[in-house]
């Protein structure tokens, strides 16, 4: 079946550094991928829709310069959290559609 | 936009018990889906159920679109059923999630 691979699963970084999270569709091509953010004990909030070969579409309130999304190929989308701060600590999840929605395993970001 | 409410917010079951989770929505839904997030964060798509009833093993789901609700039934619960169950509507290409029901199944 279709698999979405997300890497890394966990990252701890110092405040001010940038962190890149990768989302790959392993056995299908995904022209569109989605990035979600989830705080503890809360629901998933859509951050942005990543479109292959074009600019991402960001949800209201999501800082484009803080969360850089690149979808350079049909199998890879990346989310870069720039100049990370403790308030950016969260669980980030990507997803892609292949007949139905598949999710990556998520990335737990902790900014010290 | 559409509002999705789930109940109960938390549920503790003894292994083997049955349960019903509910999802209410504020407006018409066309692409109602149920997901399970395990304790490690992985999300699995359980059902795509815009209307009617579907069953998959011990799980089944029913959506009554005209009354704007959906139900997820878990029978003979197992400890591996623990986690958070979300319903969501795919609206304009985006998934709108409810707040989830956190299920804990005790051995």
Distance (Å) of CA B66 to CA B26, B29, B61, B96, B100: 11, 9, 16, 19, 22
Q: Which tens digit of pLDDT belongs to each residue from A36-63?
A: 999 998 999 999 999 888 899 999 999 9
Q: When comparing pLDDT for A81 and A54, which is higher?
A: A81
Which of A31, A91, A103, A104 has the highest number of chain B CBs within 10 A, making it the mutation to test binding with B? Answer: A103
Burial of B98 (0-12, 13-18, 19+ CB in 10 A): buried
> Is the pLDDT assigned to residue A66 strictly greater than 70?
yes
pLDDT of residue A93: 96
Give pLDDT tens digits along chain B (107 positions). Answer: 788 999 999 999 999 999 999 999 998 888 899 999 999 999 999 999 999 999 999 999 999 999 999 999 999 999 999 999 999 988 777 888 999 999 999 99
Residue B88 CB-half CA count within 13 A = 26
Inter-chain residue contact A49 with B94, CB threshold 8 Å: yes
Contacts A–B by Cβ distance under 8 A: 43
pLDDT of residue A1: 63
* CA distances, B74 to each of B14, B41, B46, B71, B85 (Å): 12, 20, 12, 10, 11
Which of A21-34 are b and which e, b meaning 16 or more Cβ less than 10 Å from the residue's Cβ?
Answer: bbbbbeebebebbb
Residue B99, min C-alpha distance to chain A (Å): 5
Please tell me if residue B2 touches chain A, with a CB cutoff of 8 Å.
no
User: Residue B49 and residue B52: Cα distance in Å, rounded?
Assistant: 7
Alpha-carbon span A85 to B32, nearest angstrom: 35
Buried-exposed string A74-88: b where 16+ CB fall within 10 A, e elsewhere: ebbbbbebeebeeeb
Write down the pLDDT at residue A53: 86
Distance CA B65, CA B25 (A): 9
Q: Do A106 and B42 touch (CB under 8 A)?
A: yes
Q: Is the dihedral of CA B14, B15, B16, B21 positive or negative?
A: positive
Task: Assess B57–A contact: CB distance below 8 Å, yes or no.
Answer: no
The predicted-structure confidence for A8-17, as pLDDT tens digits, reads as follows: 999 999 999 9
Q: What is the pLDDT of residue B100?
A: 96
Report the pLDDT value the prediction gives residue B67, as an integer from 0 to 100. 93
Looking at per-residue confidence, does A31 or B63 come out higher? B63
Q: What percent of chain A has pLDDT over 70?
A: 98
pLDDT, averaged across chain A? 93
């Amino acid at each position: 079946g279709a698999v979405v691979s997300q890497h890394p699963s966990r990252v701890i970084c110092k405040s001010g550094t940038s962190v890149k999270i990768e989302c790959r569709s392993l056995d299908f091509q995904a022209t569109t991928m989605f990035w979600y953010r989830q705080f503890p004990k809360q629901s998933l909030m859509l951050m942005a829709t990543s479109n292959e070969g074009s600019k991402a579409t960001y949800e209201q309130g999501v800082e484009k310069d803080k969360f850089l999304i690149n979808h350079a190929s049909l199998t890879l989308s990346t989310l870069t959290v720039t100049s990370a701060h403790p308030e950016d600590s969260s669980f980030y999840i990507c997803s892609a559609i292949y007949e139905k929605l598949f999710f990556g395993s998520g990335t737990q970001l902790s900014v010290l | 936009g559409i509002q999705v409410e789930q109940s109960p917010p938390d549920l503790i079951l003894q292994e083997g018990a049955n349960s019903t989770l509910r999802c209410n929505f504020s407006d018409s839904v066309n692409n109602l889906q149920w997901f399970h997030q395990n304790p490690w964060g992985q999300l699995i798509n359980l059902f795509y159920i815009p209307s009617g009833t579907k069953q998959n093993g011990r799980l089944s789901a029913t959506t009554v679109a005209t009354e704007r609700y959906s139900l997820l039934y878990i029978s003979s619960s197992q400890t591996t059923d623990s986690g958070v169950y979300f319903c969501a509507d795919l609206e304009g290409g985006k998934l709108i999630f409810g707040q989830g029901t956190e299920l804990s199944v005790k051995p």
